[in-house]
Amino acid sequence: MPAIRRLSPQTVNRIAAGEVVERPASALKELVENALDAGASRIDVRAEGGGLTRLIVEDDGCGMSREELALAVERHATSKLPVGADGEDDLLNIGSMGFRGEALPSIGSVARLTITTQGPDGSCWTLSVDGGEGGEPRPAPPLGRTGTRIEVRDLFYATPARLKFLKSERAESGAIADQMKRLALARADAGFFLTVDGRSRLALEGAPLMDTAEARRARIAAIIDRDFADNALAIETEREGVRLTGWASLPTYNRGSNQHQFLFVNGRPVKDRLIVGAVRGAYQDFLPRDRHPVVALYVDLPGGQVDVNVHPAKAEVRFRDAGLVRGLIVGALRHALAGAGHRASTTVAGFTLGRLERNAASPPPSGGLWNNRAWAGAAVSPAWEQALRPEPAGDLAPGMSARIEPDWDGGLSESPAAMAEPEGEAPDFPLGVARAQVHANYVIAQTRDGMVIVDQHAAHERLVYERMKAQLSASGVARQALLVPEIVELDEAEARRVLDRAEELGRLGLVIEPFGTGALAVRETPALLKKLDVQGLIRDLADELAEFDEALSLKEKLEHVLATMACHGSVRSGRRLTADEMNALLREMEATPHSGQCNHGRPTYVELKLSDIERLFGRR
C-alpha cells in the first residue's frame, strides 16, 4: 500500500472546488453573496461564453485593505463568522450569506482569478491567482469608489475533466440568469444588473427605503411574471418565533415544473426538500402531480433554530423543529387558498382571448367597408367577404348607393341554448346572474361589468367534492379489517419512519403495528380503497416520509376516490338546467372555497370583462 501523505494545498482547493464551484452559476452565487455581505447596494455582473470564458462581478461594498485582500484568497479565512461569548466561532448564529471562507480560494484553484478592491481609505489593490498559484497584492488604479471588482477567466481550465460535464453555453447562461434572479428576490434592497454576451438580461434598481413587503412584491412582479402579482395570495403568519411571509399563486395559475418556486430562509435562497414537500402537500388537493404552483416564500426565524452549515454550497438547511416549520407553511398556504373562495386566475381570461385572437384570420385590406381596427382578428368566410364587399360605384345608377343584403334574417332558429329571462340589470353577485345555457354544458351569466362562462360539470364536481371532504373530515375515514394481516418487509429505518406516523395514518384509515425488526403488519385499510396494493402503498409511504415528511400517497389515493365519486355524482354534461338551477349553481360556487378550479386544477369558469369583449369586436 502507498504511504499516507499530505495533499498539496492546490489539490485540497481543487477538491473543495468540486463541491463549492460545480458550474459557472455556482461561482457567480458565491461572488454575489460576498458582495451582499460587504454591504453592496448595486451589483453588476457580466458573463461571456456561459461564464466559462469570463465572469466579472463588481460591487460598491466596503472593499478590503491590502492585508485583508491577501487573506481573502487563503482557505478558511473569513470576516463573517461571529464569535460567541466563550470566544469560539459561533456556527449556530450566522447572519451573513457566506461564512466558510472557501469560495475565493476554490475559484482561484480552477481558474484565473483577479481581484481589485478599494477600501474606505481610498487605497486600491489588486491580486491575481492562476490555477491556485497566487502572488502578493500590488497597487492598482483607483476604482473611483469603495468596492470590489472580481474577474474570473477560463473557469475550470485547471480541471479540464470538469468541462466535459457542463452543459451548452446557452444552458449555463440560463443558469446564471436564474441564480441572479433568486439572489435578487432575496434582497430587494439591492440593485442587480446582469449582462450576458453583451446583452442585458437583468436590470433591477434597489429599493432600500421602501417597505420590505412592498419592495419584495415589486421585485417579484419584475422577475417572476407581471401577472403573478395579480394572481398571488399574500402569506403572512407567525408561530413560536417562526415568521412566514410571501406570495403563493392561485391553483389555476400553475407551471409544468417547480423551477418557479422561490424559497428563502433568513434571506438566503435555498432548495430545501422539507419546504418543497410542504408546498406540494398544501396544493395536492388542487393540482395534479405534473403541475406546480408559483410561490415566493420567506421564512425568518432565530439563527439558533436553523443550521445552514449542511453543505458547502449552502443551498440546504436543517431546522431544529422541522414539524413546526412544515406545519406553518402548509397551514398558511391552505388558509390562503381557502380565503380565495371561488377566485380563479386572471390569466384564464387572457388565455381565452389569446386563443380567440390567434385562431382568427388576418384582417382584410383597408378601404370601403373594411376598417383594420374594427375588424382586427375577425374571421370571415370567403362567401361573406364577397357578400360584404361593396359593388363598384360605376355600376350604380346616379343617386343610388351600394346595399348589402346577406342571406340571414338576424333571428335565432332552433336555438340550442336554454334561455333565462333577464330581469333588469345584473345584481352585484361575483359570478352574476344566469342568462342562458349553451350546448347543455355551459352556463352564461351576466355580471355588472362583463360575463362569465361556467363549465357546469366541472363546477358541480368541485362542489360535490368539497362537500364529501367536509363529511369525511367530520365523521372520519371508514376502515375495514383485513381477514389476514398484511406483513410488509422494510429496512429498519424505513419501518421506523412509517411507525412514527402510525397515529396520523390511523386517522386516514390505515392501521399498522410493528411486526419484528424491519417489518410491520397492516391490520386495517380505508374502506373506500377496495383493491389496494398494500405492499406498494407502504413502500411509497416510506419513500415519501423520507423525502417530504408527509404521507402523500394515502391521502392522494383517498382524494382520488373522492374525486371519482364526486365526478360520477355531479351534474353531467348534456343535462339542461332551469334558470333557478343555474343561479343556484352560481351562488353555491361563490360560497364554496376552491370552486374556481375543478379537481384536476383546470378552471371551472372564464370571466370576460366588458372591455375584453369590446376588444374582440374592435371597439377598443
The whole-angstrom separation of Cα 572 and Cα 458 is 9
Select from 141, 171, 204 the last residue of a domain: 204
Phi, psi of 617, rounded to the nearest 5 degrees: -100, 15
In angstroms, the CA 339 to CA 344 distance is: 12
**Structurally, how many domains does the chain consist of?**
3
**Phi, psi (rounded to 5 degrees) for 252:** -75, -5
According to the model, what pLDDT value does residue 138 have? 93
Residue 322 sits in a domain of what CATH number? 3.30.230.10
Same domain flag for 155 and 20: yes
Based on the fold, state whether residues 317 and 356 are members of the same structural domain.
Answer: no
Q: Are residues 428 and 351 in the same domain?
A: yes
Structural contact between residues 106 and 18, judged by C-beta atoms closer than 8 angstroms: no
* Average pLDDT of span 94-119: 84
Q: Is the pLDDT of residue 197 over 50?
A: yes
* CA 401/CA 391 separation, integer angstroms: 9
Q: What is the pLDDT of residue 394?
A: 43
Q: Establish if 92 belongs to a structural domain.
A: no
Based on the fold, state whether residues 330 and 276 are members of the same structural domain.
yes
Question: What does the alpha-carbon distance between residue 409 and residue 415 come to, in Å, rounded to a whole number?
Answer: 14
| 311 assigned to some structural domain | yes
Q: Which of 204, 233, 251 is the last residue of a domain?
A: 204
Q: Which helix (H) or strand (E) holds 435?
A: strand 433-438
* 76 and 183, same domain (yes or no): yes
* More confident of the two residues 138 and 228: 138
To the nearest whole number, what is the mean pLDDT of the chain?
79
pLDDT tens, 346-399? 555 565 656 555 555 444 444 333 333 333 333 434 443 443 344 444 444 444
Assess contact for 477 and 532: CB atoms under 8 A: no
Query: Is 172 part of any domain?
Result: yes
Q: Is the pLDDT of residue 49 over 90?
A: yes
Are residues 135 and 26 part of one domain?
Answer: yes
pLDDT single digits (tens) 214-255: 888 889 888 887 778 778 889 999 998 999 999 998 887 888
| Rounded CA separation 544/278 (Å) | 12
- Over residues 83-91, mean pLDDT: 66
Burial code of 577-590, b = ≥16 C-beta within 10 A, e = fewer?
A: bebebbbebbebbe
438 and 533 both lie in a single domain: yes
Instruction: Mark which of 169, 204, 239 sits at the end of a domain.
Output: 204
Separation CA 169–CA 361 (nearest Å): 39
Q: Which of 204, 65, 63, 71 is closest to 144 using CA atoms?
A: 63
The whole-number pLDDT of residue 178 equals 92
More confident residue, 250 or 87: 250
Residues 440, 318 share a domain? no
pLDDT band per the 50, 70, 90 thresholds, residue 82: low
pLDDT cut 70: percent of the chain above it: 75
Task: Tell me whether residue 409 is in a domain.
Answer: no
Q: How far apart are CA 111 and CA 131, in angstroms?
A: 5
Distance of CA 274 to CAs 173, 201, 281, 445, 613, Å? 29, 31, 10, 43, 45
Range of the domain at 21: 9-83+97-204
Q: Do the beta carbons of residue 131 and residue 110 sit within 8 Å? A: yes
Q: What CATH number is given to the structural domain containing 187?
A: 3.30.565.10
Gap between the Cα atoms of 406 and 414, Å rounded: 20
Residues 191 and 275 in one domain: no
237 is a domain residue: yes
Q: What is the DSSP letter of 391?
A: P
Mean pLDDT of 49-70: 93
Residue 210 covered by a domain: no
Query: Each residue of 316-348: pLDDT tens digit?
Result: 788 888 888 888 998 899 888 887 766 655 555
pLDDT > 90 in the chain, percent: 22
Output the CA–CA distances (angstroms, integers) from residue 380 to 357, 377, 507, in the order listed: 13, 9, 60
Q: Which of 106, 111, 145 is nearest to 128 (CA)?
A: 111
Q: At 70, which amino acid appears?
A: A
Are 302 and 351 spatial neighbours (Cβ–Cβ below 8 Å)?
no
Q: What is the pLDDT of residue 116?
A: 95
What is the per-residue pLDDT across 277-307, written as a single tens digit (0 to 9) for each? 888 888 877 787 778 889 999 999 987 788 8
Residues 286 and 276 both lie in one domain? yes
Distance (Å, whole) CA 206 – CA 452: 41
Whether 397 maps to a domain, the answer reads no
Residues 486 and 528 occupy one common structural domain: yes
pLDDT at 106 exceeding the cut of 50: yes
Q: What is the CATH number of the domain that holds 531?
A: 3.30.1370.100
Q: Is 89 helix (H, G, I), strand (E, B) or coil?
A: strand
Residue 546 makes CB contacts below 8 A (sequence gap 6+) with 494, 497
Residue 198 forms part of a structural domain: yes
Same domain, residue pair 345 and 334: no
